[in-house]
Structure 1
Amino acid sequence: MGSEQLTRRRLLAAATGVAAGVAGCNTPRSGTSESGNVSNPAATELLNTTPESQSVYTDVYRRTIDSVVLIRVYADSRGRVGEGSGFVYDDRYIVTNEHVVTDTRGAVLEPGSIFDEIRVQFTGGQWRAAEVVGTDAYSDLAVLDVQSVPDSATPLSLIGGEVAIGQPVIAIGNPLGYTGSMTTGAVSGVDRSLPARNNFRIPDAIQTDAPVNPGNSGGPLVTLDGEVAGVINSGGGDNIGFAISAALMKRVVPSLIETGDYEHSFMGVSLTSVTPSIAEAEGLSDADGVYIDDVRPEGPASGVLQGSTGDTTIDGVRVPTGGDVIVSMGGQPVQSQEVLSTYLALVTSPGDTIPVEVIRDGRRTTVQLTLGERPEPYA
């Protein structure tokens, strides 16, 4: 099992809810060119107008902006087809979103294909060609290799601990093509989950009310210490934006640099959080835990965990019955599907064997589950 251990607080917080995001990089604006940036007199938005707050936000912006880049992507048959943001991670490596550098929906290329040409622009106006080192659709992260990074573009540090709800944050990037933009806000939610390929979810995501628009994708969400709290993924509506957590980034990015991909743990089951109706059908005292609706044949959980064997009707609604209810994994309590997903993502790796405590036919029992690897995202 991985050496990282989730805190009980993180696992409990993950049960608070699920929020979906709309992902996509910005399409080119008319009138923009590679020889110059889009003029934006109000690029830096300061939501708190006191001089003291302006000084803090301006200082963070000045310390981090040179490490944030504009990313433009091209298809041989169409020319420039999109743009997004990224930031310097280590030496010549830049982190961004997978959906910025790949055609996730197959609009121009085959789904999941990397765009034919990728170029990045630094704040000094320098353009550089970039090569994709690795991508991971299940976390929406990608790493680019750029030669001759300007000296001023120093790597940004990742936050060492957890962000807190209410903590001030800054979103830096290139929304709608306006380069070098900054918006401010706070962490408005933690342990959210975002949609990923093949009905999987990206766990441990950060919700913010800092304005996020197309083109911000891949840029950093930073704290007032100038540390990266997350990688901006999407904007879901007014005052709702999402970022992939630094904790998940720490797991995925080193593997992308080293091997070009990342292996996610896989149980091979269909899950749902226990509802009051499921709890009633299974004779549970509380609506806690994760119910196994189905077990994939020949998957890691086949012969180890049990899916639904029937159903009943409660208040006119069909409710599955007979499946295992997971109440803990690796000794960590599991109150919901979000908790389980966060545990798998931040603690485990394929090949790990973990104890899984379940309620089966009204009795508690512990089984040993050896995790597999998720299927290819674009297979």
Structure 2
Amino acid sequence: MPSRQRPCSRRRMLALALGTSGLIGGTTVTGATRSVSSSEIGGGETNGSIQNDDVDSDGYAAVYEETIDDVVLVAIRGSNDDPGGLGSGFVLENGFVVTNHHVAGDADGVEVQFRDEQWRTGTVVGSDRHSDLAVVEIDDLPEIVSGLSLWEAEPVIGSEVLALGNPLGLDASISQGIVSGIDRSLPSPTGFSIPAAIQTDAPVNPGNSGGPLVTLEGEVLGVVFAGLGQTIGFAISALLADRVVPALIGDGAYDHPYLGVGVLPVGPQVATANDLEEPRGVLITDVEPGGPADGVLESATERETIDGDSVRAGGDVIVAIDGHDIPNEEILSSTLALETSPGETIEIDVVRDGERGTLEVTLSSRPDVDTP
């Protein structure tokens, strides 16, 4: 998918002025220790992938000083049934605070602390379980705040990033790493995955959730989701946040596009069973009755024995959507999430019975789900 260009902002000018700096290991600047309540498992320290004997941390320090005043600690009031907890967030240029749904989405009261130790009370104006994003409104922002902007281009694997937030309750912390992978699918209690996620080796721990993963130009590349240990952390992409957050601010909710199919990756055996030239695309295994794809796309209802294994066969294999190649399930989810909308009619290229053709499907809004 093509990248989108954006004008040169103040922070992009900062990065251009700094030039290229060497890599250092995960550097942490910490303040007072606070207690933490979180379910994530944090990753460990790691070095960047490029080594430089003349390590210069001035570049990281400059980005930190330019952005940290817009990073906040989000404290959730406890109750008899819910102990509350701490997380992170950041202020956008429009003055709203972005964090995770799992940090603040269902909270009646949100307390936000800024770097200068000032506290403010915030109200959740919108929250979305499917993307794990929430938006908090604060009436009286401190003067130190200027606001961060969301990066509008695709993340580049290998590019340097900084994770800012409050790991383990240690406020105003920074850790460094790279973009390790893109188009990851993250687990969600809704039953739908969170698409287009960013993988990073920047150390993130309980308390980092909701904080920004920023570029060396000081713009938000992603919203930290969780760390899974072994130098693997994840962030919700700014590209997805750029679609969801404005809707949360304006309407309190976001409608995700819904195709209504279940799919299976196409490996060599599935490719053989379905007369495909190469193992690429996704095989439709289920079509939701009454859903957008019902009566248009066909699911695999047959079985073929390939190398002694029973393999699904006979349905449609999705290989492209609106001209975007679909090599796997992750790209299918990312393409639907970032390139389509409910009510839009899309062209889907499928292989059926060994023949390639194009079908049209009008997407609907993702159905409501019951979640804890």
CA distance in 1, matches of 2:328, 2:53: 42
Distance 1:208 1:355, change over 3 A: same
Deviation string 1:143-188 (CA, Å, 9 cap, x unpaired) is 0001111121111022232222221111010011111111111111
- Give yes or no for the alignment of 1:53 onto 2:56: yes
What aligned pairs does 1:286-325 form with structure 2 within 5 A after superposition?
286-325=278-317
The aligned counterpart of 2:353 is 361
- Give yes or no for the alignment of 1:81 onto 2:84: yes
Deviation at 1:92, TM superposition (A): 3.0
Deviation at 1:217, TM superposition (A): 0.3
Deviation at 1:128, TM superposition (A): 1.0
The aligned counterpart of 2:190 is 198
The aligned counterpart of 1:219 is 211
Residue 355 of structure 1 contacts residue 368 of structure 1 at CA under 8 Å; is this kept in 2?
yes
Task: Tell me which moved more, 240-249 or 188-197.
Answer: 188-197
Size of the aligned set, in residue pairs, is: 334
Local SS of the residue matching 1:286: coil
Local SS of the residue matching 1:134: strand
The aligned counterpart of 1:264 is 256
Distance 1:304 1:63, change over 3 A: same
CA distance in 2, matches of 1:310, 1:69: 54
What aligned pairs does 1:20-99 form with structure 2 within 5 A after superposition?
32=34, 53-78=56-81, 80-99=83-102
Counterpart of 1:228 (choices 220, 236, 245) is 220
Q: What runs of 5+ residues in structure 1 fail to find an aligned partner?
A: 1-5, 10-29, 34-44, 103-113
Counterpart of 2:201 (choices 206, 209, 220) is 209
CA distance in 2, matches of 1:362, 1:182: 52
Local SS of the residue matching 1:355: strand
Distance 1:95 1:8, change over 3 A: closer
Deviation string 1:295-339 (CA, Å, 9 cap, x unpaired) is 011111100100122212323432111110111111222111111
Cα RMSD for the two superposed structures:
2.4
The aligned counterpart of 1:38 is none
Amino acid at match of 1:369: V
Deviation at 1:51, TM superposition (A): 7.7
Residue 287 of structure 2 contacts residue 298 of structure 2 at CA under 8 Å; is this kept in 1?
yes
CA distance in 2, matches of 1:50, 1:132: 47
Amino acid at match of 1:7: P
CA distance in 2, matches of 1:214, 1:8: 32
- Give yes or no for the alignment of 1:186 onto 2:178: yes
Amino acid at match of 1:302: D
Residue 34 of structure 2 contacts residue 168 of structure 2 at CA under 8 Å; is this kept in 1?
no
Amino acid at match of 1:148: D
Residue 75 of structure 1 contacts residue 117 of structure 1 at CA under 8 Å; is this kept in 2?
no
Distance 1:179 1:50, change over 3 A: farther
The aligned counterpart of 2:156 is 164
The aligned counterpart of 1:13 is none
Structure with the bigger RCO (C-alpha within 8 Å, sep 6+) is 1
Residue 47 of structure 2 contacts residue 177 of structure 2 at CA under 8 Å; is this kept in 1?
no
Distance 1:51 1:158, change over 3 A: farther
Q: TM-score, normalization: structure 1?
A: 0.83
Residue 69 of structure 1 contacts residue 121 of structure 1 at CA under 8 Å; is this kept in 2?
yes
Q: TM-score, normalization: structure 2?
A: 0.84
The aligned counterpart of 1:127 is 119
CA distance in 2, matches of 1:50, 1:131: 48
CA distance in 2, matches of 1:46, 1:271: 37
Q: What runs of 5+ residues in structure 2 fail to find an aligned partner?
A: 5-31, 36-45
Residue 198 of structure 1 contacts residue 377 of structure 1 at CA under 8 Å; is this kept in 2?
yes
Counterpart of 1:251 (choices 240, 243, 255) is 243
Identity among equivalent pairs (%): 49
Deviation at 1:197, TM superposition (A): 3.3
Local SS of the residue matching 1:198: coil
